[in-house]
A and B are shown apart, each in its own frame.
Chain A
Amino acid sequence: MPDRRGHFGQYGGRFVPETLMPALLELEKAYRRISREPEFRRELSWYLGHYVGRPTPLYCAHHLTDALGGPRIFLKREDLAHTGAHKINNTVGQGLLARRMGKTRLIAETGAGQHGVATATVAALLGLECEIYMGSVDIRRQRLNVVRMEMLGARVVPVSSGSCTLKNAMNEAIRDWVTHVRHTHYVIGSVAGPHPYPMLVRDFQAVIGRESKAQVRRQTGRLPQVLVACVGGGSNAMGLFYPFMDEPVRFIGVEAGGRGLTSGHHSAPLCAGTVGMLHGSVGYLLQDSWGNIREAHSLAPGLDYPGVGPEHSYLKDTGRAEYVAVTDEEAMEGFKLLARTEGILPALESAHAIAYLKKLAPQYTQEDIIVVSLSGRGDKDVDVVAKELGKRK
């Protein structure tokens, strides 16, 4: 998976303007060739080890386990990777690839700013020019990351169309790419977008699952019963799941339920969406009956997106993975729970995965193991959290 044309069953594909088609074909060819070269693999693994700080720990969260009173919970600490989230795994990979392809400029879309920071970081590292598209609402709610990107030498371009969040930022990034495709590489931050991105981003993020598998075996002598990760576009989830695909392990992806699935204000296309095409690939998405894309909502800017990666759409249909939703309010509880029990502030995105443990843990015994992807750290979210907590007092 995917097939030669980038399809995962009926999902995926390459629905882009003709101007970009040659670039996608070139990217796919370059990726297939370069990713096999021993020299590239050595270079990538050197950067992952010495620059990103991999392997990240698989931490047995005793206090959280006690608080939930059931299965042993292990946290895959992507929050401890350089720049504070899993996004860097992908941007280092794509950055090295782009440099080998002779591209001199990187662009990216960002919601929470984590992918923007990770792209700006790699651009600084590799000496590439960098512009980041970010919705003006997200610029407001993720101020810290905007400052970080600017310090790293990137230009942050505010996008003020529609809901002024991730979807609109991605539209604008695609428009930039159409215009500057000859020397620019578009660093898509999730397992979404046209082929080969869903495959390529998955492969770069699969390091999360490969490490987790080895670590959980080393620490416990066996494989976990369940893997849990939040799903916006779905890159940390796909990265964790993929190396376990042929193992008898349950996969649970947690979408952002926003104000509730029946409220119309959520970001849960897998739980409550329909099949359509957005940003270059077919998958589940939020749309009206005429095929116009609906605005998503989530307290977590990184999940605030109306689409999802095509491979997740496929895994939903085949039943290999299950997808559930957690509301803004539950995610806030997840945030507090992890902070108080383990002394870790999770990103609001990752807090969705933590929050779901309250529902999941009672289904398992103390003999069982759950691995949760802690995809990012919560420093960026303290303003939003403080405001939400204030509201609830």
Chain B
Amino acid sequence: MTRIDKVFRRLKEKGEKALIPFITAGDPDYETSRRLAIEIAARGADLLELGIPFSDPLADGPTIQASSSRALKNGVHFASVLALAGDLRRETDIPLILMGYYNPILQYGLEKAARDAAQQGIDGFIIPDLPLEEAASWRAATGAAGVSVIFLAAPTTGPERLKTLGRLTQGFLYYVSVTGITGARMELTRELIPELLRVRALVNCPIAVGFGISTPEQVKKLAPYVDGVVVGSAIVQQVAQFSGAKTIKHIGDFVASLKTPLRGGKDA
């Protein structure tokens, strides 16, 4: 059983849901990312997504695009993200998931990427521009290294495809809440909860919902229908205004406020 599976099982036993925050590795710089990740893990995150900066992040909105280019300007690349994950692994047991686009991983070499990731204690990968149809080589490489491949499903995904994705994804299925790109949104779409019920009826693995979720109120609304919630842009936005130790504490508080409605029991 992988570290990701264990977390979802433990939470299920406790009647809790997973909080999965996202930050871009190396934004605003390597050391801040490291300290932020540790703070986030300590303040209620159950899994952590680390973004690999890329020049052309076409599934991302302006917030994560800007974050990605700040990290690139600092010279952060795939190997530095692996190193950051390795540093984090020495300090925390939280499952670490890398989220990044295919080309940097392809250039690094699929087998080498999977092997080195496993060595740094990375648990899984989410690659938004690598759909099922093109994932055979990557699945083979990660399978050999013992790293999970997490697939995304979207509102446009039909029932047969959902079933297949649910069967082949490892750890959990990442459900994209909107037909669109990443970025904080004021309102959840009206169709989201019925869609989550539809997904739940078709797949057996844990389901995490992400894209656009930015407030504890939204998290609370979604908690009953999913096993986990991903929050990215809303955190990255605060990193953008980074001003030292105060920001780290501030983001820690925000993460704690997102986790509260996921704890289950009466206060949910």
Which of A's residues lie within 8 Å of B, judged by CB? 5, 13-23, 161-162, 167, 171, 174-175, 178-182, 276-280, 287, 289-293
A19 to B72 alpha-carbon distance, docked (Å): 27
Are B106 and A19 closer than 8 Å at their CB atoms? no
A18–B152 contact, CB under 8 A? yes
Residue from A13, A174, A291 in contact with B104 in the complex, judged by beta carbons closer than 8 Å: A291
Most A-side CB within 10 Å, residue of B78, B106, B153, B176: B106
Q: Is the CB of A171 within 8 A of B56?
A: yes
25 contacts between A and B (CB under 8 A): A13-B133, A13-B134, A14-B131, A15-B102, A15-B131, A17-B58, A19-B156, A19-B179, A21-B156, A21-B157, A22-B157, A23-B156, A161-B65, A174-B58, A178-B58, A178-B180, A182-B179, A287-B103, A289-B107, A290-B78, A290-B104, A290-B107, A291-B103, A292-B54, A293-B56
Report the interface size class on chain B.
35 or more
Interface pair A19/B102, CB less than 8 Å apart: no
Given contacts A167-B56, A291-B78, A292-B54, contact A16 B131 (CB under 8 A): yes
Assess whether B35 is interfacial by the CB under 8 Å rule.
no
Residues of B within 8 A of A174 (CB): 58
Q: Which residues of A contact B77 (CB under 8 A)?
A: 290, 292
Bound form: Cα–Cα A179–B154 in Å: 11
Taking CB atoms, residues of chain A closer than 8 Å to B103 are: 276-278, 287, 291-293
Q: State whether B158 touches A15 (Cβ < 8 A).
A: no
Q: How far is the CB of B178 from chain A (nearest CB, A)?
A: 8
- Which residues of the partner chain B approach A16 to less than 8 Å between Cβ atoms? 129, 131
Complex contacts, A277 vs chain B, CB 8 Å: 102-103, 106, 129
Within the assembled complex, what's the spacing in Å between the Cα atoms of A276 and B158? Answer: 30
Chain A residues with CB below 8 A from B129, complex form = 15-17, 277, 280
Task: Give every chain B residue within 8 A of A279 (Cβ-Cβ).
Answer: 56, 58
Min CB distance, A191 to chain B, in Å?
Answer: 19
Chain B residue nearest to A20 in the complex (CB): B156
- 8 more CB-based (< 8 A) A-B contacts, given A162-B55, A162-B56, A279-B58: A18-B128, A19-B155, A22-B158, A175-B58, A175-B181, A277-B129, A280-B129, A287-B107
Docked complex Cα distance between A22 and B164 (Å): 14
Cβ-defined contact, A292 with B104, below 8 A: yes
Chain A hits for B56, CB < 8 A = 162, 167, 171, 278-279, 292-293
Name the A residues within 8 Å of B132 (CB-CB): 21
Which residues of the other chain, B, contact A18 by a CB distance below 8 angstroms?
128, 131, 151-154, 156-157, 165, 176
**Does B197 count as interface, using CB distance less than 8 angstroms?**
no
Contacts A182-B179, A277-B106 known; A21 to B131 CB distance under 8 Å?
A: yes
Q: Pick from A14, A22, A278: contact of B134, CB below 8 A.
A: A14
- CB proximity of B27 to chain A, nearest CB, Å: 15
Q: A22 and B133 in contact (CB under 8 A), knowing A175-B58, A179-B179, A181-B179?
A: no
Chain B residues whose CB sits within 8 angstroms of the CB of A182 once the complex forms: 156, 179
A290–B82 CA distance with the chains assembled, in angstroms: 13
At the interface, yes or no: B145 with Cβ under 8 Å from chain A? no
The residue of chain A having its C-beta at the shortest distance from the C-beta of B61 within the complex is: A175
B83 neighbours in A (Cβ, 8 Å): none
